[in-house]
Amino acid sequence: MSASAGSGETATLTAPPSKPRAAGVFILRLLVAVAIPVIAFAVLWRSFDYMRDENANRLLVVGVAIVVGVGGVFFLYWAMNRIVDLMPERYREGVRPYVFVGPALVILGVFLVYPVINTLLISFKDSQGESFVGLDNFKFVFTDESMLRAIRNTLGWTLVVPIVAVSIGLAFATLANRLRRGEAVAKSLIFMPMAISFAGAAITWRLIYDFRPAGFGSNIGLLNAAWQGLGNQPVAWLQAAPWNNLLLMVIMVWMQTGFAMVVLSAAIKAIPDEIVEAARIDGASELQVFRRIIVPSILPTIVVVTTYMVINALKVFDIVFVIGGAETNKTEVIAERMIRWFFILNNSGRGAAIAVVLFIAIVPIMVWNMKRFREQEMIR
Amino acid sequence: MSAPAIPVPEIDQAPPSTRVAATDEAPGASRGGWFVRIAILVIVLLWLIPTAGVLVTSFRPENLVNSSGWWTALVHPFRAAEWTLENYRLALDRGGLGNAFLNSLAVTIPSTVIPITIAAFAAYAFSWMEFKGRYVLFVVVVGLMVVPIQMTLIPLLRLFANGATIGRLIVFPDLDLNGSFMGIWLAHAGFGLPLAIYLLRSYIGSLPSSIIESAKIDGADHFTIFWRLVVPLSVPALAAFAIFQFLWVWNDLLVAYVFLGGTRQTMVLPIALAGLVGERGETWHLLTAAAFISMVLPLIVFFSLQKYFVRGLTAGAVKG
């Protein structure tokens, strides 16, 4: 790898040199890859055992956690590296990469790969995950009235939220790009809700949608106050199906527009000035510049941002869960149903089946992601 | 070549050419001047109103909160009877927010630090070491970025509660991890790893190979190169992921709800908020104070480290 990082990377990544090695190396690799995480786990476990005592001082817990989390994990890698140094020389460099990458692979295996496979299995089993029931759970998912509503609502989320958030984000990024002063401030104010939890945002917007029937005091919710100001009767917005779904989507739009705006703004700034100026000199109006130059040049970014938003909207859970009353208000979504069936109604088969439906919806995006990554690697 | 998913933007760091054009009365800027400014102002105000409502309400006495809209307080901003700190005392103490705040710290900090350390080692191996299956394994990591967490919850809860065995062989010991901090740290570490590895690899892989090569010639082994050279050089990328993961874990409701539960001893802030909404949905003076307590730390982190945060977010536009 004496060439530039770029070409060196590609060469080694696409065609890893395969030196034939003894089976001993393989076994050693395997041992190391398994031993490190197990020891790491045991050490971490011992260090934190006392924290089961729920009255342990939290600040102390945090302190110990940082020391062990950084120091302990680092020390384990260091120790394992030492052990590799003690191995016969011809094995060393074959085993060492697995010291570095092994723990990550084991954690990914335990916390992502294994559960995904297991969930697929559980989705064909009964409520306690004991005996197989065939496709019953999936039949439930696609016939139950509340589930069908959840699927419909989730489809609504994946359409409305990305379109609205990306549109506002794009408009704002384009306009802010032409501000002479205050662009950074304006952008960070739009971006700010991104730092807030969905739970906090749900409370924030519940206050806006707050409702009191006429005659029960003045409405303290901004929306009803404005609505009444226009001469209407107050409305229980969060119970007004099906429009209440839109009101919940507004919360997510509020939170995610900043993301779209910041990313798109960066893409807009990357367009060479000469192109835009040339179009203006040729007499193009601002709207034409936007439609014919800005949008086509940042189209790949728009696609990526929209995909990200679609994934997030598919998995929306917190907003609906914290606002509450999903069933009575007909605002169910898939991710929220999953928790309800698995965690509250204690039916792991149905919970798993709902999760699988969510997963299948995301698989195309996952494959596309991997394909895109491989194309990028080819270019590198 | 570090190019993540999308070009990495930095707020307030436009390329110099844009800057010049903007001050030079670009034709567009002068044509749409007023319209642009008013449109921006309207959108910013719309975006600020919800947060402003929470902030103002949280400082108003209970009886006023319930009898008039928060915007009426802005008419007499200097009347002492309009304002109080009582709500915060109540939320921290009776609402259990003080305890939840500490719990959130105890969950978030290790959940941020552990995956970073593990991912940094892995990212180094993926970038600068040669081993079988390197490319394929990394493509799998990219795929894992979007796996919905819902897909992992049921098996993980069982694993934490019962362990796992194949025949008589104990594959995963029964550690009784449910409801413990240890369990949620590991879960968050697992869920955060794909993004962390992806982000760090695209950064570490783009370091000039000449540096690494010359260190090797000087006799440094991989471990020394990693620790002395690569980690210090990668601070921006490490910070970007740290902020991203910190905000994500701090604001997470789902994982905390499933693995820690809602008991008062172990509940984190989002759980506490959700609980308050369920129990006392209309006590706005308490709810708004609680909501604001949960927002304080992320907002500080956000405004002080915005540049890094933006970097992490944009590069991780594919995270699940």
pLDDT digits (tens, 9 = 90+) for B80-126: 777 878 788 877 877 778 888 888 888 888 888 889 989 999 999 99
Give chain A positions within 8 Å (CB) of B308: none
- Among A55, A112, A301, A377, most B C-beta atoms within 10 A, so best to mutate, is A112
Nearest to B17 by CA among A270, A287, A78, A248: A270
Rounded mean pLDDT, B194-220: 85
pLDDT of res. B281 = 63
pLDDT of res. A87 = 77
Question: Is pLDDT at B3 greater than 50 in this prediction?
Answer: no
Percentage of residues of chain A with pLDDT beyond 90: 9
pLDDT of res. B134 = 85
Q: Which two tokens stand for residue B49?
A: 């109103």
Higher per-residue pLDDT: B202 or A49: B202
pLDDT of res. A6 = 39
pLDDT of res. A123 = 87
What 3-state class would DSSP assign to B164? Answer: strand
State the DSSP H helix or E strand holding residue B163, giving kind and residue range, or none if neither. none
Q: Where are the beta strands (DSSP E) in chain B?
A: 164-166, 169-172
Question: Is pLDDT at B28 greater than 60 in this prediction?
Answer: no
Of the candidates A58, A207, A321, which has its C-beta nearest B57's C-beta? Answer: A207
Rounded mean pLDDT, B30-48: 81
Higher per-residue pLDDT: A266 or A166: A166
pLDDT of res. B257 = 86
pLDDT of res. B2 = 33
Give chain A positions within 8 Å (CB) of B40: 172, 175-176, 179, 186
Q: Are A101 and B126 in contact (CB < 8 Å)?
A: yes
A239: confidence class by pLDDT, cuts 50, 70, 90: confident
Question: Is pLDDT at A19 greater than 90 in this prediction?
Answer: no
Q: Are B32 and A355 in contact (CB < 8 Å)?
A: no
CA gap B30, B36 in Å, rounded: 10
Q: Are A66 and B175 in contact (CB < 8 Å)?
A: no
CB proximity A178 to B under 8 Å: yes
Question: Is pLDDT at A159 greater than 90 in this prediction?
Answer: yes
CB proximity B180 to A under 8 Å: yes
CB within 8 A of B162, min separation 6: which ones? B174
Question: Is pLDDT at A10 greater than 50 in this prediction?
Answer: no
Which range has the top average pLDDT, A60-74, A212-226, A326-340, B91-105?
A326-340
ipTM > 0.95? no
B177: confidence class by pLDDT, cuts 50, 70, 90: low
Q: Are B109 and A70 in contact (CB < 8 Å)?
A: no
Q: Are A267 and B6 in contact (CB < 8 Å)?
A: yes
Question: Is pLDDT at B21 greater than 50 in this prediction?
Answer: no
A158: confidence class by pLDDT, cuts 50, 70, 90: very high
Rounded mean pLDDT, A326-345: 86
CB proximity B160 to A under 8 Å: no
Give chain B positions within 8 Å (CB) of A77: 117, 121, 223
CB proximity A270 to B under 8 Å: yes
pLDDT digits (tens, 9 = 90+) for A141-157: 898 888 899 999 999 99
pLDDT of res. B316 = 47
Question: Is pLDDT at A323 greater than 80 in this prediction?
Answer: yes
pLDDT of res. B17 = 42
pLDDT of res. A254 = 93
- Window 196-215 of A, Cβ < 8 Å to B: 196-208, 210
Question: Is pLDDT at A11 greater than 60 in this prediction?
Answer: no
pLDDT of res. A20 = 47
Question: Is pLDDT at A328 greater than 80 in this prediction?
Answer: yes
- Among A197, A209, A239, A259, most B C-beta atoms within 10 A, so best to mutate, is A197
Percentage of residues of chain B with pLDDT beyond 70: 79
pLDDT of res. B108 = 87
Question: Is pLDDT at A61 greater than 80 in this prediction?
Answer: no
Question: Is pLDDT at A93 greater than 60 in this prediction?
Answer: yes
Rounded mean pLDDT, B221-235: 86
Q: Angle A23-48/A73-86 helices, nearest 10 degrees? A: 150
Higher per-residue pLDDT: A18 or A252: A252
Give chain B positions within 8 Å (CB) of A259: 313
Q: Are A193 and B51 in contact (CB < 8 Å)?
A: yes
CB proximity B81 to A under 8 Å: no
Question: Is pLDDT at B151 greater than 60 in this prediction?
Answer: yes
pLDDT of res. A294 = 87
- Do residues A186 and B44 make contact, with C-beta atoms less than 8 angstroms apart? yes
pLDDT of res. B26 = 46
pLDDT digits (tens, 9 = 90+) for A176-191: 888 877 788 888 888 8
CB proximity B234 to A under 8 Å: no
Rounded mean pLDDT, B249-271: 83
- The CA-atom distances, in angstroms, between B267 and each of A54, A127, A197, B274 are 11, 27, 15, 10
What phi, psi does B171 have (nearest 5°)? -85, -40
Give chain A positions within 8 Å (CB) of B223: 77-78, 81
Rounded mean pLDDT, A318-346: 85
- Among A48, A108, A348, most B C-beta atoms within 10 A, so best to mutate, is A108
A15: confidence class by pLDDT, cuts 50, 70, 90: very low
Q: Which two tokens stand for residue A79?
A: 């120790």
pLDDT digits (tens, 9 = 90+) for B263-284: 777 788 888 888 888 776 678 8
User: Letter for the amino acid at B301?
Assistant: V
- Window 91-110 of A, Cβ < 8 Å to B: 94, 96-98, 100-101, 103-105, 107-108, 110
Range from A51-60, A311-320, B300-309 carrying the lowest mean pLDDT: A51-60
Rounded mean pLDDT, A296-302: 86
pLDDT digits (tens, 9 = 90+) for B59-74: 888 777 777 777 877 7
Averaged pLDDT score across all residues of chain B: 77
Question: Is pLDDT at A124 greater than 80 in this prediction?
Answer: yes
- Window 272-291 of B, Cβ < 8 Å to A: 273-274, 277-278, 281-282, 284, 287-288, 290-291
Give chain B positions within 8 Å (CB) of A271: none
Question: Is pLDDT at A51 greater than 60 in this prediction?
Answer: no
What 3-state class would DSSP assign to B26? Answer: coil
A170: confidence class by pLDDT, cuts 50, 70, 90: very high
CB proximity B64 to A under 8 Å: no
For B16, name the nearest residue in chain A, comparing CA atoms only: A269
CA gap A112, A116 in Å, rounded: 6
A380: confidence class by pLDDT, cuts 50, 70, 90: low
Rounded mean pLDDT, B139-157: 86
**Count of positions (residues) in chain B:** 320
Question: Is pLDDT at B6 greater than 60 in this prediction?
Answer: no
* Radius of gyration, CA atoms only, chain A: 27
Higher per-residue pLDDT: A352 or A29: A352
pLDDT of res. A167 = 93
